[in-house]
Amino acid sequence: MMNAATESPDVELALFQIGEMLCGLDTRHVQEINHNFEITPVHRAPDYVRGVINLRGEIVTVIDLHEKFSIPPSEVHDDTQVVVVRYEEECIALLVDTIYDVVNAHQSDISTPPSNVDGISGSFISCIYRMEKNLVVVLDLEELLKK
């Protein structure tokens, strides 16, 4: 039996779908999940910047994870949601297909990432969380948001 003092704490993950891939983010980075938004395009922005949204008076950049991962783009529809994260004192919205759940991931079910998953560079992945029926690609927010 493990001593409670030496056992690593669980990590709370927000789960969402991007294309066919189930992804997660540590909830400590997640400010909110929103689905009522209108994206305003930004000219001359990188391809992965879908535009900006007005979040209660704050202008927030929207990152399209499909573009970032070089997978076929998604259409923005009524069910499309954004995961708003806080990174270096700035709010950034990540465009996702579907929000799933928030789960407690036990450290024993977390493993180091492979060099790529479904063609997505391992640099974007902090770890893999093994659920009973699914594998969750836990994203490395810092790498994901590097300019």
Higher pLDDT, 17 or 7: 17
User: What is the pTM for the complete model shown?
Assistant: 0.86
Instruction: Say if CB 91 and CB 58 are below 8 A apart.
Output: yes
Alpha-carbon span 61 to 29, nearest angstrom: 16
pLDDT tens by residue, 88-136: 889 999 999 989 899 999 999 999 887 767 667 778 889 999 998 989 9
pLDDT score recorded for residue 115: 72
Which domains are delineated in the chain?
Answer: 13-144 (2.40.50.180)
The pLDDT of residue 119 is 66
Average pLDDT over residues 33-42: 89
Residue 6 has pLDDT above 50, yes or no: no
**Sheet of 135-139, strands arranged across:** 98-105, 11-18, 21-26, 135-139, 125-130, 110-111
